[in-house]
Amino acid sequence: MSDLLNKHVLLAMIFSVGFTFSAWSQTDETPSRDALMLESIYKETLSNAKAYDWLRFLSLQIGGRLSGSVEAEQAIEYTKTILNDLGLDRVYLQPVMVPKWVRGAPEYAYYETAPGLSTTVPITALGGSVATPSMGIKAKVVEVKSIEQLEKLGRRTIEGKIVFFNRPMDPQIIQTFQAYGGCVDQRYSGALEAAKYGAVGVIVRSMNLRKDDFPHTGSMSYGDSPINSRIPAAAISTNGADLLSATLRLNTDTEFYFKQNCRAFPEVKSYNVIGEIRGTVYPEEIMVVGGHLDSWDLGDGAHDDGAGVVQSIEVLRTLKAIGYKPKRTMRAVLFMNEENGLRGAREYASEAESLGEKHIFALESDSGGFTPRGFQFDTSPENFERIHKWAALFYPYFTDRFELGGSGADVGPLKSQGAVLAGLRPDSQRYFDHHHSDHDTFDQVNKRELELGAAAMASLLYLMDTYGAEASN
Amino acid sequence: MSDLLNKHVLLAMIFSVGFTFSAWSQTDETPSRDALMLESIYKETLSNAKAYDWLRFLSLQIGGRLSGSVEAEQAIEYTKTILNDLGLDRVYLQPVMVPKWVRGAPEYAYYETAPGLSTTVPITALGGSVATPSMGIKAKVVEVKSIEQLEKLGRRTIEGKIVFFNRPMDPQIIQTFQAYGGCVDQRYSGALEAAKYGAVGVIVRSMNLRKDDFPHTGSMSYGDSPINSRIPAAAISTNGADLLSATLRLNTDTEFYFKQNCRAFPEVKSYNVIGEIRGTVYPEEIMVVGGHLDSWDLGDGAHDDGAGVVQSIEVLRTLKAIGYKPKRTMRAVLFMNEENGLRGAREYASEAESLGEKHIFALESDSGGFTPRGFQFDTSPENFERIHKWAALFYPYFTDRFELGGSGADVGPLKSQGAVLAGLRPDSQRYFDHHHSDHDTFDQVNKRELELGAAAMASLLYLMDTYGAEASN
């Protein structure tokens, strides 16, 4: 684009701003109080946000922070210090026991088309997997596209082999989280199911729409199957999966070797980190904005969910900076152990229950630090209809897609309190390029995109604070 | 995000799809013919697009392709070959004379706070600038924030000095093209204006919202000022600009040195590249989809405008692949010399005029290969009202923001024919991180984001073909 286009763009802006204003002031000649408040929030965040600097430290100085790790403890200390420095009404740690699973020495894998002819491929142990025997596992491979296919193939075909789950994410689905939902059963239950037919190990195609060399980890479960029936499971990169599949088409006797050294330890004590601004009118009504402080151990967890953590803190910083005094109590909650246990979320909801706290609203950011497109709300259709009217206020910020739907894993347990739940919905196209892999790194987060998310969250919190979370308020 | 969230996401999808369908079939029980056609277009593009592979070749095998360069000629040959392979009704080159400006040896710059105490900073000559003398220029620096400020400072302050234009893009503006529009006068006219007060050179802060080390070039103009009054102009990276500004605050006598070796050569012959599918019903009505084939010489021009080029070709590939036979004639036009002359666009419109061709619609993609958000239309408010009804069809694809506004520089000259003009509007947040710099590279383009843009363009072309471009049709 040259400067010549620029004249067109300027014209466009004039038109566009006119069009925009009409969306939220069709009757008024001047912007509404709410429109002015959103403008003030966005200006503050886009000019003075600290979120990106906090994320830089969390990502580059601390790094991946799996539950129970030293890094997770460092992240607790660091974010508590930030919250303290904001001068909130209350900052505290909420103890919670979390699982501790450790990857150990890096995984190693190759396939062998003939003795001595081998090609290494990038793999990573799935979270919660058992290790291979110390000498590794070497076996022939059965490629399948689904768990259902296991039954058709039966024990005679599968026994003694490594099952290779290779159903890719569907590129025709626009929202990538939906494509992820259509594949993740292979990762979560593949080992449990394959073991029933005598498989000795499981290799799963990474949940990634891109063709690259990053294997993507993520949680898996053995259910309550006996310890000695549990087989090791690893993810293979998408390029690796395509290579392996092509090789198997040429030679079905191809042998695959892998070795992994992961191990589960006894549970350890960890914490949710919480910062609070006390409400001036209805202090007993609590509104939560949050993300999860733990991440997988690969990469540095900048998108998943460093972004949500720093955005949540930024919401409080921004509202304080513009001098906003909430009527209701606002809390930034940095949940521990979302990735492999959800213990922090359960503990938070359970303690809220036993303290008799009343949560009216909980908003999570856990879909990456990309340009926000809108929010999803988990509430009644009637209440959603009311909330949906606010969408027009977000039109100037390109964040006006409000939908009924899900929210976030960490705020989920608050549903039983009757809270309205919501999730920030950023652009989803690049999320799974990074998710749970070495490619989830700070340099992949854009400062403005991150800040636009924080400003949108602060704006929604302001509206909920002003009008209450339910239609009856 | 763990698999636990996934259940929420799946629920969300169910809600969301229901909500989505209601947007475009409120009266019908079944999706409309148009909705089904868009679905078919998107599925084809997201499954079988070649756009990303073409862009890889254009970016990595050819690279930056400034008008008049060998690379520009290679790009003409390459894209002509692609169009030929698509089996279109007609593929042809349209000759056009273009300027040829060459950067020469890399630029070099440092500032000196005391003799022997110097710091180098990254600069790049602005497109069209004259060279420095062969020994370079060394002078004291006057920092200004605007062209208007020059007059206030006057010749006494400016004469013999280097003027440093340092007004940053405004981070509070949501749409980054608008922020660009608020700064680019410094780059385009800074040298012309500073020379009037006796400045010996001009350094301009790069048009980039990010703090980094990439200087961003772009066109500038000396107007019709005498040759011997023209002073060299360069862009400095945003980090470099901040450093220089801080240094000047400490020591106003700081001297700046820069040397650049650029040169203008006589005009050379080049080409627009055009591929056509002839209309079956109204072949005389022409619809254009295009981007510009030239780029700046820095980086490889993947976003600006390799993306628009391969998307435009992809539109024709996709429509042919699904067996769509347009009623009206469709052309992919790859314009030459958008960046520093717009000669290709003018030649195309001028030849259309002299041949008596009737262009009813022209759509450009020249805002980067990012996730599309919608389109802007340059047409009458009445006709826009009609077009705006189609936006609901794009809701399932997150590309439903239709606005009255600008279109694109290359399609602009077709306005005098009465054509409806339009521009694809992708997410703008990251565009100026890359624009006209070494950071505009293939690895910064996401395959899905690129393809979603192409599918949106093909869908809009289908609708225009079906319903005609003007309300009167």
Last residue of some domain: B244, B261, B278? B261
Among B222, B266, B292, B238, which Cα is nearest to B124's?
A: B238
pLDDT at residue B131 is higher than 50: yes
pLDDT at residue A81 is higher than 80: yes
Among A71, A101, A94, which Cα is nearest to A346's?
A: A94
Read off the pLDDT band of A1 (50, 70, 90): low
Q: Are B316 and B332 in contact (CB under 8 A)?
A: yes
For B321, residues 6+ apart whose C-beta sits below 8 A from its C-beta are B44, B48
ipTM at complex level = 0.93
**Same-domain pairing of A368 and A419:** yes
Last residue of some domain: A212, A243, A261? A261
For tokens 């690279």, the residue is: B63
**Same-domain pairing of A57 and A168:** no
> What is the distance between the terminal CA atoms of chain A, rounded to a whole angstrom?
50
Catalytically annotated residue among A44, A255, A314, A338: A338
Predicted pLDDT at A23: 38
Residue A114 to chain B, least CA–CA distance (Å) = 33
Q: Supply the DSSP string of A12-55, one letter for each residue.
A: HHHHHHHHHHHHH-SS-SS--HHHHHHHHHHHHHHHH--HHHHH
For tokens 């999803």, the residue is: A376
Predicted pLDDT at B27: 47
pLDDT at residue B28 is higher than 50: no
Last residue of some domain: B261, B277, B307? B261
Q: Where are the beta strands (DSSP E) in A105-168?
A: 108-114, 117-120, 123-125, 137-144, 162-165
**Same-domain pairing of A254 and A272:** no
For tokens 């700081």, the residue is: B254
Predicted pLDDT at A104: 97
The range of the structural domain enclosing residue A245 comes to: 104-261
**Same-domain pairing of B317 and B447:** yes
User: Sign (positive/negative) of CA torsion A299, A302, A303, A308?
Assistant: positive
pLDDT tens readout for residues A326-349: 999 999 999 999 999 999 999 999
Q: Is residue A472 part of a domain?
A: no
- The percentage of residues in chain B with a pLDDT greater than 70, rounded to a whole number, is 93
Distance (Å) of CA A107 to CA A49, A110, A133, A233, B37: 39, 11, 12, 11, 47
Residue A286 tokens read as 């609590």
Among A431, A426, A425, A219, which Cα is nearest to A342's?
A: A219
pLDDT at residue A142 is higher than 50: yes
Residue A7 tokens read as 């004249």
Nearest to B408 among A8, A43, A210 (CB): A8
> Is B427 in Cβ contact with A180 (below 8 Å)?
no
Q: Supply the DSSP string of B266-300, one letter for each residue.
A: EEEEEEEEEEEE--SSEEEEEEEEEEES---SSTT
SS3 assignment, position A190: helix
Arithmetic mean of pLDDT, A357-379: 98
Return the higher-pLDDT residue of A319 and B31: A319
Q: Is residue B1 part of a domain?
A: no
**Same-domain pairing of A117 and A77:** no
Predicted pLDDT at A471: 57
pLDDT at residue B23 is higher than 90: no
Residue A154 to chain B, least CA–CA distance (Å) = 27
Q: How confident is the prediction for chain B on average, in pLDDT? A: 94
Residue type, A369: G
**Same-domain pairing of B36 and B178:** no
Residue A444 to chain B, least CA–CA distance (Å) = 10
Helix (H) or strand (E) holding A106: none
Return the higher-pLDDT residue of B6 and A467: A467
> Is B1 in Cβ contact with A409 (below 8 Å)?
yes
Q: Supply the DSSP string of B49-65, one letter for each residue.
A: --HHHHHHIIIIII---
Residue type, A74: Q
Task: Name the H helices within B171-280.
Answer: 176-181, 184-195, 238-250
Predicted pLDDT at B8: 42
**Same-domain pairing of A274 and A383:** yes
Q: Is residue B253 part of a domain?
A: yes
Predicted pLDDT at B29: 54
Q: Is residue B298 part of a domain?
A: yes
Predicted pLDDT at A27: 47
Return the higher-pLDDT residue of A372 and B14: A372
DSSP state of B302: I
- Cβ-based burial of A263 (10 A; exposed 0-12, middle 13-18, buried ≥19): middle
For B249, residues 6+ apart whose C-beta sits below 8 A from its C-beta are none
pLDDT at residue B32 is higher than 80: yes
Predicted pLDDT at B388: 97
Read off the pLDDT band of B381 (50, 70, 90): very high
Predicted pLDDT at B31: 82
pLDDT at residue A322 is higher than 80: yes
Among A340, A326, A329, which Cα is nearest to A419's?
A: A329
A394 φ/ψ angles, rounded to the nearest 5 degrees: -95, 0
Task: Name the H helices within A148-237.
Answer: 148-158, 176-181, 184-195
B8 φ/ψ angles, rounded to the nearest 5 degrees: -65, -40
Distance separating alpha carbons of residues B5 and A310, to the nearest angstrom: 20
Q: Is residue A17 part of a domain?
A: no
pLDDT tens readout for residues A410-466: 999 999 989 999 999 999 999 999 999 999 999 999 999 999 999 999 999 999 999
pLDDT at residue B345 is higher than 70: yes
Q: Looking at residue A325, which CATH number applies to its domain?
A: 3.40.630.10
Residue B175 tokens read as 């749409």
Among B443, B405, B450, which Cα is nearest to B427's?
A: B450
- Cβ–Cβ contacts within 10 Å for residue B59, how many? 26
Chain A residue closest in CA terms to B446: A430
User: Sign (positive/negative) of CA torsion A167, A172, A173, A175?
Assistant: positive
Predicted pLDDT at B7: 43
The bridge status of strand B137-144 relative to strand B90-102 is: unpaired
Distance separating alpha carbons of residues A71 and A270, to the nearest angstrom: 11
**Same-domain pairing of B250 and B299:** no
Predicted pLDDT at B116: 83
pLDDT tens readout for residues A194-220: 999 999 999 999 999 999 999 999 999
Chain A residue closest in CA terms to B432: A1
* Adjacent-strand bridge partners of A288: A331, A362
Ranking A26-35, A230-239, A387-396, B139-148 by mean pLDDT, the lowest is A26-35
**Same-domain pairing of B123 and B214:** yes
Predicted pLDDT at B294: 98
Q: Are A21 and B237 in contact (CB under 8 A)?
A: no
Integer-rounded Cα Rg, in Å, for chain B is 24
Arithmetic mean of pLDDT, B145-157: 98
Arithmetic mean of pLDDT, B160-183: 98
Nearest to B8 among A13, A408, A447 (CB): A408
Q: Is residue A137 part of a domain?
A: yes
- Select from A6, A8, A188, A439 the residue whose CB has the most chain B CBs within 10 Å, as the one to mutate to test that interface: A8
Q: Are A126 and A217 in contact (CB under 8 A)?
A: yes
Distance separating alpha carbons of residues A345 and A367, to the nearest angstrom: 17
Contacts of B219 in chain A (CB under 8 A): 2-4
Arithmetic mean of pLDDT, A252-270: 97
> Is B430 in Cβ contact with A15 (below 8 Å)?
no
For tokens 């509404």, the residue is: A32
- Select from A6, A7, A9 the residue whose CB has the most chain B CBs within 10 Å, as the one to mutate to test that interface: A9
Q: Are A324 and A281 in contact (CB under 8 A)?
A: no
Give the count of domains, chain B.
2
Among A152, A149, A153, which Cα is nearest to A166's?
A: A149
Residue A215 tokens read as 């294997």
pLDDT at residue B210 is higher than 80: yes
Q: Looking at residue B117, which CATH number applies to its domain?
A: 3.50.30.30
Among B104, B450, B125, B440, which Cα is nearest to B300's?
A: B440
Read off the pLDDT band of B1 (50, 70, 90): low
> Is A19 in Cβ contact with B404 (below 8 Å)?
yes
Q: Are B221 and B192 in contact (CB under 8 A)?
A: yes
Contacts of A9 in chain B (CB under 8 A): 177-178, 180-181, 405-406
Predicted pLDDT at A31: 82
**Same-domain pairing of B320 and B342:** yes
Distance separating alpha carbons of residues A322 and B309, to the nearest angstrom: 45
**Same-domain pairing of A96 and A109:** no
Nearest to B1 among A366, A405, A446 (CB): A366
> Is B408 in Cβ contact with A5 (below 8 Å)?
yes
Distance separating alpha carbons of residues A277 and A332, to the nearest angstrom: 9
Q: Are A406 and A175 in contact (CB under 8 A)?
A: no
DSSP state of A391: G
Using H for helix, E for strand and C for coil, what is the string for A245-302?
HHHHHHCCCCEEEEECCCEEEEEEEEEEEEEEECCCCEEEEEEEEEEECCCCCCCCCH
Q: Are B98 and B267 in contact (CB under 8 A)?
A: yes
Read off the pLDDT band of A473 (50, 70, 90): very low
Among A340, A416, A428, which Cα is nearest to B9's?
A: A428
Q: How confident is the prediction for chain A on average, in pLDDT? A: 94
SS3 assignment, position A446: coil
pTM of the model: 0.94
Read off the pLDDT band of B455 (50, 70, 90): very high
SS3 assignment, position B322: coil
Residue A18 to chain B, least CA–CA distance (Å) = 10
Read off the pLDDT band of B226 (50, 70, 90): very high
Distance separating alpha carbons of residues A133 and A130, to the nearest angstrom: 9
Q: Is residue B94 part of a domain?
A: yes
pLDDT tens readout for residues B264-295: 999 999 999 999 999 999 999 999 999 999 99
pLDDT tens readout for residues A87-99: 999 999 999 999 9
> Is A13 in Cβ contact with B218 (below 8 Å)?
no
pLDDT at residue A15 is higher than 60: no
For helices B184-195 and A3-24, the axis angle rounded to 10 degrees is 130
- The percentage of residues in chain A with a pLDDT greater than 90, rounded to a whole number, is 91
Task: Name the H helices within A104-237.
Answer: 148-158, 176-181, 184-195
Residue A91 tokens read as 């900052």
Residue B185 tokens read as 């006068």
Return the higher-pLDDT residue of B29 and B263: B263
* Active site annotation includes A338: yes
**Same-domain pairing of A91 and A143:** no
The bridge status of strand B117-120 relative to strand A233-236 is: unpaired
Question: What is the interface size between A and B, counted as CB pairs within 8 Å?
Answer: 212
Predicted pLDDT at A2: 61
- The percentage of residues in chain B with a pLDDT greater than 90, rounded to a whole number, is 91
Q: Is residue A8 part of a domain?
A: no
Predicted pLDDT at B5: 43
> What is the distance between the terminal CA atoms of chain B, rounded to a whole angstrom?
50
Catalytically annotated residue among B143, B338, B339, B451: B338
Contacts of A412 in chain B (CB under 8 A): 4, 8
Predicted pLDDT at A26: 42
